Amino acid sequence: MSRCPPPAPRRVAVVIEASNAYARGLLTGIHRHVREHEPWTIFLQEHGRGTPPLEPLARWQGEGVIARIETEAVARTLDALRGRQPLAIVDVSAGRLLEGVPYVETDDAAIARLAAAHFLERDFRHFAFLGDDRFRWSDNRRDAFLTAVGSRGRTVSVFDGGATQQGQPADDEERIERWLAGLPKPLALFACYDIRGRQALDACRRAGIAVPDEVAVLGVDDDDLLCGLSSPPLSSVIPDAHGAGRLAAALLERLMGGERLEVDEWLLPPLGIATRQSSDVLAIDDPLVVAAVRLIRDRACRGIKAQDVVRELGTSRRILDARFTARVGHTPHEEIARVQFRRVEHLLAETDLPLATIADRCGFRHAEYMTVAFTRRHGMPPSRWRAMRHGDERTPRR
């Protein structure tokens, strides 16, 4: 009996640079999808950010493209390419430069809200945003940060920088230094991504500004090398780059199979914050609350309870709850749950660990209790939340 030959691998172009941690995370997510599903023949050329080799891409023939479309030149090339052949395209940029294609991106508003909460829970009164006006996602993060901080009655000083005629970052280090020197302290500074965060740290060092005591700095992308080699090490929001890559690949697979997507915008919230020395400070004048927060963050996922915190600090539950709520905005019990569920989200998104193992690692005695509490908090059970993050859930996130 004759056997049918296996289907030919789909031909897919991946137009994503490998020059930064987020882009490499996207590529890793795409690779994971391909490894777990039907193989693809992938066209991928090494290039820097925003400057792919367009001539080979313009001549390429295939079925699908995953691209980080951040320049008009890339948008024009892909538009011409789809005009000559049937082509499914998924964009993994916030630029929205090519109409009629779905895009998968980090939820910039959620990133900004997380950054604002990171600083507000430390009781900062003065805020700043260091952006890069070459990129739409920087503008999105700036606007959402201003809204989140403004809702608490605070204002934000903004430095958006600029670009040279060649499209490279302007040499504005001295301007950043002067800007920071003139701002009130202690200051919470949110940088649109880690490169800008490192520039802020360099400016503080040159100006003799103490980090984090006078200026606390938080970036985005959690580039281990960039953050770890900064002085001091840079705190950073952790975007779900792997999840975005996997979801983009899953959506492209569906498009190449002839499926019509119900929505064209897919936003993934951040996984949490990698807190390092640059923001490891509490602008709180209550030493009892400072001690409680540090204890909770160190031991929440080891099963610590609010009463354990009370006992270790030698106070009463009533006094701790009142002083903690006045300074942080919620009770120690709620802070413990917040830390635990951030860890649960990270393990669901980044690992294939069973729920029982995740529950144990996050301080829950039983997976069943964690599932009930997670469902109440997120509106869906952890299994479905994980499936959606991995691009396996068929219901789109609106």
DSSP 172-199: -HHHHHHHHHTS-SSEEEEESSHHHHHH
More confident residue, 287 or 67: 67
CATH 3.30.450.40 describes domain 108-240+273-279: no
The pLDDT of residue 398 is 31
The pLDDT of residue 346 is 81
Read off the pLDDT band of 165 (50, 70, 90): very low
Residue in this structure with the two tokens 């952006």, named with its chain if needed:
131
The average pLDDT across 226-237 equals 91
Residue 172 has pLDDT above 80, yes or no: no
Read off the pLDDT band of 284 (50, 70, 90): low
Neighbours of 280 (CB within 10 A): 15
Residue 164 has pLDDT above 50, yes or no: no
Order the strands of the 272-274 sheet from edge to edge. Answer: 156-159, 126-130, 187-191, 215-220, 235-238, 272-274
The pLDDT of residue 392 is 55
DSSP 93-154: SS---STT--EEEE-HHHHHHHHHHHHHTTT--EEEEE--TT-HHHHHHHHHHHHHHHTTT-
Q: How many helices (H) and strands (E) would you count in the chain?
A: 16, 12
Residue 396 has pLDDT above 50, yes or no: no
Lowest-pLDDT choice from 130-139, 198-207, 299-308, 387-396: 387-396
The average pLDDT across 362-380 equals 93
The average pLDDT across 354-365 equals 93
Question: For 301, which DSSP code?
Answer: G
Name the residue among 118, 215, 227 with its Cα closest to residue 176: 215
The pLDDT of residue 393 is 47
Name the residue among 101, 80, 81, 77 with its Cα closest to residue 248: 101
Residue 280 CB contacts under 8 Å (≥ 6 apart), including other chains: 212, 235
Structure tokens at 108: 């910039």
CA torsion angle 257 262 263 266 (round to 10): -60
49 vs 26: CA distance, rounded Å:
14
The domain locations on the chain are 10-106+241-270, 108-240+273-279, 287-389
Residue 380 CB contacts under 8 Å (≥ 6 apart), including other chains: 388
DSSP 83-106: HHS--EEEE-SS---STT--EEEE
The average pLDDT across 133-149 equals 94
The average pLDDT across 346-356 equals 87
Residue in this structure with the two tokens 């019509």, named with its chain if needed:
260
Fold matches, 10-106+241-270 and 108-240+273-279: yes
Read off the pLDDT band of 3 (50, 70, 90): low
Q: How far apart are the first and last CA of the chain?
A: 48
26 vs 139: CA distance, rounded Å:
21
| CATH number corresponding to 10-106+241-270 | 3.40.50.2300
Three-state DSSP class for 382? Answer: helix
More confident residue, 161 or 25: 25
Average pLDDT of every residue of the chain: 88
Contact of 250 with 392, CB cutoff 8 Å: yes
Q: Which amino acid type is present at position 357?
A: T
Three-state DSSP class for 69? Answer: coil
DSSP 344-366: HHHHHHH----HHHHHHHTT-S-
* Host H or E run for residue 216: strand 215-220
Largest Cα–Cα separation, the chain: 81
The matching CATH number, chosen from 3.40.47.10, 1.10.10.60, 3.90.600.10, 2.160.10.10, for 287-389 is 1.10.10.60
The average pLDDT across 93-106 equals 91
Q: Which amino acid type is present at position 102?
A: P
DSSP 304-344: --HHHHHHHHT--HHHHHHHHHHHHSS-HHHHHHHHHHHHH
